[in-house]
Structure 1
Amino acid sequence: MDWSALLRMPMTVLLVLAAVFALITLVQLVALRQRLHGGRHLAASWRALLCVGAFALTLLLAGAGCALRGYRLLGEEAPVVEIDAHILSPQRWVLTLSWPDGSTRRLQLAGDAWRVEAIVLKWKLPALLAGVPPLYRLDRLSGRYDDPAQEAQAPRTVIGFDEAGAFDLLNLKKQYPRWVPEIDTVYGSGAFLPLVDGGHYAVSLMRTGALVARPDAATAEKISHPLGG
């Protein structure tokens, strides 16, 4: 397990903090019970306040962590996903996606090229001045045909990653804009490359929010000379 990759996910940090405050809440509950049994009502009232505050922070951090499920911190250049392609038949491919945290996914795609898209969130002041980096999450992977006419008529493949789930920060922003006023801009970014048998591609996201797709040397050679010429 790549812990550095997990720590780039704000959900991980927030849920760890929520677990810490949940433990603090339990400790305060035990202390509260002891003081109530001892007849120390003034001390018990302070413990009750601490217990309520810790529990409120637990709920807040847990909710924020769930809302940021699937999002990752965007550094100078963040590795997003690596893609390995193998042909099944003309314009039919099987792709293996590998994420920085070690997880993988295998899927089939139709087309001459693959295209991946991401959603990027940027912040307003004061979060921007505090140095909070932009967040991103993968949105979808799709197939792309070279011929526009075929693109309009041939079977297309669109695979949503659905990393965030229903309780998503982006959905909350749309439904309850007053609850999440710190989001400045929400926009999408995409990149695509031709598919070749045995191709290996690396996708990264720049701090500007632009997706960059790069083939390795052998894949670039196959793209340049598809027939081996």
Structure 2
Amino acid sequence: MSPSLFVLIPALACAIFALIFIAGAWRRRHRRAALGAGVRVLLALGFGLAALGLIGLGLSIRHYLALEGEVTVAELAFSEIAPQRFQARITTADGREQRVELAGDEWQLDARVLSWKLPAVLAGAPPLYRVERVSGRYRDITQEREAQRSVHALDAGTLPDLWALKGQFPRWLPFVDAHHGSAAYLPMRDGARFTVTLGGRGGLVARPSDDATRRLIQDSGW
């Protein structure tokens, strides 16, 4: 199940209950049951606010994917276009493909990971991850400080996500247990292909995708 659907289904249930209580209050508006109608209005308001909150939560995690065991989060392929300049093709687990130009000797992929506290854990909510960006790195520290840098967003969401909301309002989201980043990097070589996985504990691991890439990495002395 999509993480957003995991939240939006109970949001729909809350919205349905809100409508039921509103209908009940409407039927009682002309009867001598003002107290009963008022209680129904309050219940409808409570369920309506819960539905809105869950919808907001669903939107805040719409760019995240469920982390169930070790999963492949991205595949990268490189072609050299000039010394220390490469074109990278990145394919993420949701099927999106992006081509970017990176400067440097190595590539780095960054991801965000979210895990949960009770009652979300009891409800079966899995950890979530979001591949965030890819960047170029220079092996030489001086170049890393002074040379042209390159970094590209892999998921440019326009709405605040749960990661940002947790950082800004930690007391409002007590069910979010941890939010942390993870990164992996390896050398860029012409024709090299890599697979990046994310383990159950939220750590990125980058590996060569084929024997040819392994030989390229070994020959480079990395």
Structure 1 and Structure 2 fold alike (TM over 0.5)? yes
Matched, 1:224 2:218: yes
Deviation for aligned residue 1:56: 3.0
Q: Distance in 1 between matches of 2:198 and 2:82?
A: 31
Q: What displacement does 1:127 show? A: 3.8
Q: State the one-letter code of the partner of 1:171.
A: A
Alpha-carbon contact 1:28-1:50 (below 8 Å) kept: no
Residue in 2 aligned with 1:80?
73
Q: Give the CA deviation at 1:155.
A: 0.5
What per-residue deviation string (whole Å, max 9, x for no partner) do you get for residues 175-219 of structure 1?
222101223332221111111222221111001111011111222
Query: CA–CA distance in 2 between the matches of 1:122 and 1:21?
Result: 24
Match of 1:175 in 2: 168
1:10-49 pair list within 5 angstroms: 10-15=3-8, 17-18=10-11, 22=15, 24=16, 28=20, 35=27, 45=37
Residue in 2 that maps onto 1:199: 192
Conservation of the 8 A alpha-carbon contact between 1:138 and 1:163: no
Letter in 2 for 1:101: D
- Could you state the TM-score of these two structures normalised by the residue count of structure 2? 0.79
Conservation of the 8 A alpha-carbon contact between 1:83 and 1:201: yes
Deviation of the 1:62 alpha carbon: 0.8
Does structure 1 residue 113 correspond to structure 2 residue 106? yes
Distance 1:115 1:222 in 2: 18
Give 2:132's match in structure 1, choosing from 139, 151, 162.
139
Superposed CA deviations along residues 104-153 of structure 1, whole A, max 9, x for unmatched, are 11211111111011122233345445553322222321101122221121
Say whether the 8 Å CA contact 2:85–2:102 is kept in structure 1: yes
Q: Distance in 2 between matches of 1:198 and 1:72?
A: 29
TM-score, length-scaled by structure 1:
0.77
In structure 2, runs of 5+ residues without a counterpart are: none
Does the 8 A contact of 2:25 with 2:41 survive in 1? no
Distance 1:83-1:41 versus aligned 2 partners, 3 A rule: farther
Cα distance in 2 between the residues matched to 1:30 and 1:182: 30
What does 1:89-168 align with in structure 2 at a 5 Å threshold? 89-128=82-121, 131-168=124-161
In structure 1, runs of 5+ residues without a counterpart are: 1-6
What is aligned with 1:3? Answer: none
Is the contact between residue 121 and residue 185 of structure 1 (CA under 8 Å) also seen in structure 2? yes
Contact between 2:22 and 2:40, CA under 8 Å: does it hold in 1?
no
Partners of 1:180 and 1:84 in 2: CA distance = 38
The answer to whether the 8 Å contact 2:131/2:154 transfers is: yes
Does 178-187 or 201-210 show the bigger shift? 178-187
Q: How many angstroms apart in 1 are the aligned matches of 2:82 and 2:138?
A: 15
